[in-house]
Copies of this chain bind each other. A is one copy, B any other.
């Protein structure tokens, strides 16, 4: 279960609150948010009372409020929160095609509308639209979302003039100047992404396990990866893996 201790993460980053009366929804959304590098703490709130009492002592960088069609408790809670804290960035989370909630959300001061089925990357885009983004961020190219190509999962309110963007220290390590991987290194990296052991990769390529280890060490250095898991992640982020 999600208790107070769960909210703590050692990472720096923005604090995001997820409000929804339905536990499944808020936990699911929260679990996708934690995959974002510039999100440090994710906290979940399930009832209006604790939302308001929490807001008395501290405020999140963003408050995400879940809505249900024909149920106005979510929007009511958001309205209350906004009344008490006018500058609070609020995102409304709802069904992909709930145009009514979109309109209602924007009308009463939410900064945008997010589909509940958004991937982490789309959520990141939504958060960036409310001024929250990694330090020194440029629009990612290699490392953007597949879904961004399709139907937008984002409906933005008017651009927020005058609100200074909250720049968050990124935990992303400085990327080396993109050394190209050799063919062998790509083969080894591909094998790693398929859960193969060094010995197994070696057998499939008719090579010694020690040779695979050598290629692995070199590709770790080139990519700046600590281990195979990070190497695979970097491969995907650079777009050289699929």
Residues of chain A at the chain B interface (Cβ within 8 Å): 2, 5-6, 8-11, 27-28, 30-32, 34-37, 42, 119-121, 124, 141-149, 171, 180-187, 189-190, 192-196, 203-207, 225-233, 235-236, 239-242
23 A/B residue pairs, CB under 8 Å, sorted by A: A8-B206, A9-B205, A10-B204, A30-B183, A31-B180, A34-B187, A35-B186, A35-B190, A36-B242, A120-B240, A144-B149, A145-B146, A146-B148, A146-B149, A147-B239, A149-B149, A194-B233, A195-B229, A227-B228, A229-B231, A229-B232, A232-B232, A232-B233
A145-B146, A226-B195 as given contacts; A183 in contact with B34, CB under 8 Å: yes
A186: chain B residues at CB < 8 Å are 31-32, 34-35
* Interchain nearest-CB distance for A173 vs B (Å): 8
Bound Cα distance from A141 to B70, whole angstroms: 31
* Interchain nearest-CB distance for A195 vs B (Å): 3
Contact A146–B9 (Cβ < 8 Å): no
Bound Cα distance from A242 to B185, whole angstroms: 23
Contact A193–B230 (Cβ < 8 Å): yes
Bound Cα distance from A120 to B193, whole angstroms: 15
A35-B240, A240-B119, A242-B35 as given contacts; A2 in contact with B192, CB under 8 Å: no
Bound Cα distance from A35 to B238, whole angstroms: 13
A190: chain B residues at CB < 8 Å are 34-35
Contact A10–B205 (Cβ < 8 Å): yes
Contact B227–A183 (Cβ < 8 Å): no
